[in-house]
């Protein structure tokens, strides 16, 4: 519970501590602030994604509104800083930084395929599958092979791990781009 409170507090702090600067050249200090926040969020995500990859983690996400809210807040924070970084990358690309075009593509792809709405939609599908599985748990416990409860849990976990792995990969790639950006 302490971890959940810390995580929620961190997300709220991060969201409230920075404001987007529209149509202005991002200073080096602004870039460092965004990078620091993205680093914090990446570390938090790496910790939370471990549990979220499991059937128990899915159960916790489906049943605990506080946990679900903390994960959603974390992703919303990630996308907030992603948007700030996007604005900075656009500005830098105008100044002929070659790396920026690739970064912009990565950011657009992250927003399109792994936005908060897509995440919630995907996890909602997983929650429905988990709920159905639990509803018929007694019947599945009697079955063997592909129709057994353990086999069905394995399939749900496999799908969940795949999605969280792809999302984590995208977050890590953004983090690498951020560090490359501040070196330039």
**Model pLDDT for residues 95-144, shown as the tens digit of each residue:** 656 667 777 888 888 888 888 899 999 999 999 999 999 999 998 888 88
93 CB contacts (<8 Å, ≥6 apart)?
Answer: 100, 101, 104
Whole-Å CA distances, 41 to 37, 81, 83, 118, 153? 6, 10, 14, 19, 29
Per the listing, tokens 């991060």 go with 14
Q: Residue 109 and residue 122: Cα distance in Å, rounded?
A: 17
Q: Output the pTM of the full model.
A: 0.60
């Amino acid at each position: 519970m302490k971890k959940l409170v810390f995580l929620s507090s961190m997300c709220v702090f991060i969201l409230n501590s920075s404001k987007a600067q529209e149509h202005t050249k991002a200073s080096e200090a602004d870039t460092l602030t965004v990078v620091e926040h993205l680093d914090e969020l990446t570390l938090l995500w790496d910790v939370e994604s471990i549990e979220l990859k499991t059937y128990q983690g899915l159960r916790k996400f489906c049943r605990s509104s506080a946990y679900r809210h903390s994960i959603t807040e974390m992703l919303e924070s990630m996308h907030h800083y992603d948007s700030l970084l996007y604005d900075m990358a656009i500005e830098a690309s105008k100044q002929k930084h070659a790396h920026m075009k690739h970064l912009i593509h990565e950011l657009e792809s992250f927003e399109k395929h792994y936005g908060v709405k897509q995440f919630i939609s995907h996890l909602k599908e997983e929650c429905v599958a988990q709920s159905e599985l639990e509803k018929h748990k007694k019947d599945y416990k009697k079955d063997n092979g592909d129709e057994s409860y353990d086999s069905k849990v394995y399939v749900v976990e496999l799908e969940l791990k795949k999605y969280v792995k792809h999302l984590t990969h995208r977050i890590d790639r953004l983090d690498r781009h951020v560090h490359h950006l501040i070196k330039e």
